[in-house]
Amino acid sequence: MEFELTADQQAIREMVREFAEKEIRPHATEWDEREEFPAEVFAKLGELGMLGILVPEAYGGAGLGYVEYATILEEIGAADGGVGLGVAAHNSLCTNHIYLFGSEEIRRAYLPRLASGEWMGAWGLTEPGAGSDAGGTRTTARRDGDEWVLDGTKTFITHATVGRIAVVMARSDPDAEKHHGISAFAVPFDRPGVSPGRKEAKCGMRSSDTSQLVLEGCRVPADHLLGNEGDGFIQAMKVLDGGRISIAALSVGIARGALDAAVAYAPVREQFGKPLAAYQMIRAKIADMATQVDAARLLTLRAAWLKDRGVETTRESSMAKLYASEVAVKVAEEAIQILGGYGYTREYPVERAWRDAKLCTIGEGTSEIQRLVIAREVLRLASASA
């Protein structure tokens, strides 16, 4: 299978790389230390079309595919994982969910604002008692005339503080089986009863805005139900198939950034009269790191390529996300080892890459969940062909 980028895709990669090197990388350490969401950078990303990557041009988006999306996220992630996470959550989760399942009226009302970066979007699935077990959702939605009334608390929500709208999963039928009574709603933040809660003090991804989202008698119009009532969990799983490709691409970017730092350092740092790059053990580390990054990228591009062709990618998305996220942690850790004591300081970016990478093994389905999904799909396909 050939993954050579087209001329247009290469031009997009170069444009995003240049932007990331100029506008993101020089400030990443400062944003991390201050836990600052870089609103100005996201406004510029919106102007470049990077906040409506998958949105058709008819709704103000860039109208690109998943291969372009993965390429973009790798370049941003190599400069700052936190900014990359914000781009991924905005595009894959909130914006894409509205595009895939919103009515035409809802699409036209919100997608242009999201695609331009005028609004940042959030996605509310996780709760204090419902993480990997998303079917354990306790946030409720009850119909009251021409409105739905939502109550509950979502946690670990990207853009809960800086966003303007969220897609929220809530239990609309308390008597239905656990996965079948959940519906999805578009919840603009100007509605009464919705507000950000506690801001999370995170280990990494600190330039990404992460807080609780609190819903207290929050009323939204009936037409803000996305798709059919009771289909929210099914919708979320479909959205996550694409979202996991984005986290895989982000992981590749973080890993590549750490590898680049190690490769730049090893030839100039001398020990015992020779540069580190002259030692066989260091060269072996770099060889393994480079091989793992390339393998992760190929798994990610395979999933993206298939997604662009309308193929169901549950297995491929989970494989890419699992492998790339775990590679990102390993490569960042080896980069720290190569840089030694300096790698453990904030003078160099590899310790931040290490902290950022760990979230990729947790968010949008832990590594353990990915292994369950992959095994289920492999066994299902084997049974179907028997």
Give the catalytic positions in this structure. 364
Query: From CA 208, how far away is CA 89, in angstroms rounded?
Result: 10
Residues 6+ positions from 137 with CB-CB distance below 8 Å: 125, 127, 130, 169, 170, 171, 182, 233
Are the beta carbons of 186 and 165 closer than 8 angstroms? yes
Strand 165-171 and strand 121-124: the pairing is parallel
What is the rounded CA–CA span in Å between residue 31 and residue 28? 5
DSSP annotation string for 126-158: -BTTBSS-GGG---EEEEETTEEEEEEEEEEEE
Query: Residue 37 in 3-state DSSP?
Result: coil
- Could you list the beta-strand ranges (E) of the chain: 121-124, 140-144, 147-158, 165-171, 182-188, 194-199, 210-221, 225-226, 270-271, 274-275
Distance CA 209, CA 206 (A): 7
